[in-house]
């Protein structure tokens, strides 16, 4: 089975859920926009299936956005740079990692970021209060091997080169520039347990500001999909989006929770996916042939036209 290329290891990536999320994308997309792109898992998966004419990949984390752009536009150079950095680590791999991390924090060179993401613990990005990357190296492995990384980089470039643009702007600026023929997929920073400042992100977003931004999209009849809150067992994570947005809420089965398993509990994690009214209306007016579905019954539609359950 062909594997979708993914050069960037990124905790919280929607890579595994991408096939389920893409079921709700229509065919007539001028531009698929990711204002909170992360590793751009949805854009990559959609491009592999030729689901949009163009792609706009944005993340407020500038080195991450710049890294994605280099991967797409200069794949051979990026792969060679990664191989050079990877090969230099073996005499003292931990010290090498810390040296690369210090250099990245000083220069913000996005090419160095790729090695750090490949080698850090669980692909988990962490920043200190000064905005410096401070995640530790995984002591059990050296990171993605150069030959595998090269194949992933070249694969992503083939999918997105010539039809993608990249930015690191505030999400509200990106939403303002969208139009009715676009589809916006949003996976904003996890609401989590860290208050206003989650160390997994350079900056968070305010829930009320985000809701207001969605209201504006509704008034402009822009189609969008949002990954937001979730639950594990009876425990819920994050605020749900309010009824007055008139969204359809779907639960995606994200699999068994590894944390719960360690505690001896067999619990499944579910992530909420919200579909805009304009997208649902588009669905109801057109033949089901315009949408993509799988026979795998992982998605539970909680409520259809009257908002979320």
Does position 129 have pLDDT exceeding 70, yes or no? yes
Cα Rg of the chain, angstroms: 20
Token output for 136: 């530790």
CATH number at residue 33: 1.10.1020.10
- Each residue's pLDDT tens digit, 68-124: 999 999 999 999 999 999 999 878 899 999 999 999 999 999 999 999 999 999 878
Instruction: Please answer whether residues 46 and 17 qualify as being in contact, where contact means their C-beta atoms are separated by less than 8 angstroms.
Output: no
Instruction: Please answer whether residues 134 and 104 qualify as being in contact, where contact means their C-beta atoms are separated by less than 8 angstroms.
Output: no
Which one has a higher pLDDT value, 56 or 256? Answer: 56
Q: Which residues contact 19 (CB under 8 A, 6 or more apart)?
A: 45, 294
DSSP assignment string, 18-55:
HHHHGGG--S--SEEEETT-TTTHHHHHHHHTT--SEE
Q: How many domains does the chain have?
A: 1
Is 144 among the domain residues? Answer: yes
Q: How far apart are CA 42 and CA 269, in angstroms?
A: 20
Closest CA to 226 of 275, 180, 193, 174: 275
Is 139 among the domain residues? Answer: yes
Mean of pLDDT values over 180-199: 70
Is 260 among the domain residues? Answer: no
Mean of pLDDT values over 256-278: 72
Is 295 among the domain residues? Answer: no
Q: Residue 27: its pLDDT value, please? A: 84
Mean of pLDDT values over 285-293: 43
Does position 290 have pLDDT exceeding 90, yes or no? no
Alpha-helical runs (H) found in the chain = 18-21, 41-48, 62-73, 75-87, 93-107, 110-119, 146-160, 171-176, 207-219, 258-262, 277-285
Is 258 among the domain residues? Answer: no
3-state secondary structure of 155: helix
Instruction: Please answer whether residues 52 and 30 qualify as being in contact, where contact means their C-beta atoms are separated by less than 8 angstroms.
Output: yes
Is 296 among the domain residues? Answer: no
Q: How far apart are CA 219 and CA 235, in angstroms?
A: 33
Mean of pLDDT values over 288-301: 36
CA atoms within 13 A on the CB side of 136: 3
- DSSP class of residue 201 equals S
Q: How far apart are CA 136 and CA 94, in angstroms?
A: 9
Is 110 among the domain residues? Answer: yes
Provide the pLDDT confidence category of residue 172 given band limits of 50, 70 and 90.
Answer: very high
Is 297 among the domain residues? Answer: no
Does position 285 have pLDDT exceeding 80, yes or no? no
CA atoms within 13 A on the CB side of 51: 24
> In which domain, by residue range, is 100 found?
1-227
pTM of the model: 0.86
Polymer length of the chain: 309
């Amino acid at each position: 089975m062909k594997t979708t290329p993914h050069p960037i290891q990124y905790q919280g990536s929607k890579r595994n859920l991408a096939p389920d999320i893409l079921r709700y994308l229509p065919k007539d997309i001028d531009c698929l926009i990711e204002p909170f792109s992360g590793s751009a898992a949805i854009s990559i998966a959609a491009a592999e299936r030729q689901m949009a004419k163009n792609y706009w990949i944005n993340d407020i984390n500038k080195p991450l956005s710049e890294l994605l752009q280099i991967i797409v536009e200069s794949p051979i150079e990026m792969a060679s740079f990664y191989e050079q950095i990877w090969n230099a680590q073996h005499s003292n791999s931990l010290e090498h990692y810390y040296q690369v991390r210090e250099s990245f924090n000083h220069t913000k060179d996005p090419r160095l970021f790729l090695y750090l993401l490949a080698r850090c613990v669980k692909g988990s990005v962490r920043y200190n209060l000064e905005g410096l990357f401070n995640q530790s190296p995984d002591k059990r492995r050296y990171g993605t091997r150069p030959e595998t990384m090269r194949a992933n980089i070249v694969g992503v470039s083939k999918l997105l080169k010539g039809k993608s643009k990249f930015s690191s702007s505030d999400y509200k600026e990106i939403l303002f520039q969208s139009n009715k023929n676009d589809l916006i997929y949003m996976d904003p920073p996890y609401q989590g347990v860290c208050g206003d400042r989650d160390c997994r992100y350079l900056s968070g977003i305010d829930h009320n500001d985000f809701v207001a931004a969605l209201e504006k999209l509704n008034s402009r009849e822009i189609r969008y999909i949002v990954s937001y809150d979730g639950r594990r067992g009876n425990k819920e994570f994050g605020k749900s989006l309010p009824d007055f947005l008139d969204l359809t809420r779907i639960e995606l089965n994200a699999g068994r929770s590894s944390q719960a398993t360690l505690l001896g509990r067999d619990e499944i994690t579910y992530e909420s996916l919200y579909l805009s009214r304009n997208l649902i209306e588009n669905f109801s007016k057109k033949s089901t042939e315009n949408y993509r579905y799988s026979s795998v019954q992982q998605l539970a539609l909680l409520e259809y036209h009257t908002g979320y359950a």
